[in-house]
Amino acid sequence: MAKDKSLKSASKLPKKKKLGSNADNADTEETMDAEVKGKRSKLEVEEAPVQIPQETIADDTKQKKEKKRKKKRAAEETQADETEILDPSSLPEPTRELEGEEDLSPEEKRVLERKMKKILKKDEKKRLKAEGETEKKSEASGPTAPQQALDYLTCWAEKRAEWKFQKTRQTWLLQQMFDSNKIPDENFSVLLQYLEGLRGGARDTTVQKALVLVEESGQAPEDGAVQQRAHRAREVIQLLT
């Protein structure tokens, strides 16, 4: 009897649930692994750095090097010009493009043009200074061209034995003979005597020039300087014709 009771009580106990099969457990694990791998792949794609093509980097580097090389060459040419004293007319105009200048930026072009203008200005000052010094040396070394011409004329009149013909002095006298500021009246009277021996083309040219001055005087009767030159011209015409 006791055994029967225990069996009955055991049959009344709740039945335990059966665990799922091994196949079901395996499917669940595979699904979870797939989801984890998918999330990892997504994170790796989002975090991966953007790859720049090597060809683009190489081209940019090459362009930068080429630009620096041209800029350096232009600077070296500018520096070389600054060390030499050149005739400004032989230098390029500031607005003229240098070799490779088309690759420079507008700001770089403006800087280069300013440098060229400074070089031109500097060379012009040096040229004017050199010319001024040359003129001063000429004045210090001896008499000026007008004084030499008048001395030549005086020597012809007073020291004929020492006098020698000089075409340069004669040309200056013939060109300035009508200007009383260049040849004073006392020297002009001597010049008229000198002109008596004038021959050839020089004589004809002098007469033609005198005729033109006389004709111009009729158009400016109140101009004292014109009338003075015309007066000398009439004397020359009377002498040589």
Q: Which of 139, 173, 207 is the last residue of a domain?
A: 139
Please indicate, yes or no, whether residues 166 and 83 belong to a single structural domain of this protein. no
> In this structure, are residues 117 and 92 in contact, taking their beta carbons and an 8 Å threshold?
no
Q: Which of 89, 114, 139 is the last residue of a domain?
A: 139
Q: Which of 139, 159, 178 is the last residue of a domain?
A: 139
Q: What is the pLDDT of residue 134?
A: 66
User: Exposure string (b/e) for 95-134, b if CB count within 10 Å is 16 or more?
Assistant: eeebeeeeebeeeeeeebbebbeebbeebeeeeeeeeeee
Residues in the chain with pLDDT < 70?
1-60, 77-103, 133-142
> In this structure, are residues 116 and 92 in contact, taking their beta carbons and an 8 Å threshold?
yes
Q: What is the pLDDT of residue 67?
A: 77
Q: What is the pLDDT of residue 61?
A: 75
Q: What is the pLDDT of residue 145?
A: 87
Cβ-proximal residues to 67 (8 Å cutoff; 6+ apart), any chain: 103
Q: What is the pLDDT of residue 113?
A: 84
Judge whether 189 lies within some domain. yes
Please indicate, yes or no, whether residues 160 and 99 belong to a single structural domain of this protein. no
Q: What is the pLDDT of residue 153?
A: 94
Please indicate, yes or no, whether residues 162 and 236 belong to a single structural domain of this protein. yes
pTM of the model: 0.43
Cα 177 to chain centroid, rounded: 46
Q: What is the pLDDT of residue 117?
A: 84
Judge whether 124 lies within some domain. yes
Q: What residue numbers bound the domain in which 133 lies?
A: 58-139
Please indicate, yes or no, whether residues 125 and 195 belong to a single structural domain of this protein. no
Please indicate, yes or no, whether residues 154 and 115 belong to a single structural domain of this protein. no
Element (H, E) at 43: helix 22-47
The number of domains in the chain is 2
Q: What is the pLDDT of residue 3?
A: 46
Q: What is the pLDDT of residue 142?
A: 62
Q: What is the pLDDT of residue 98?
A: 47
Return the structure tokens found at 10. 């055991």
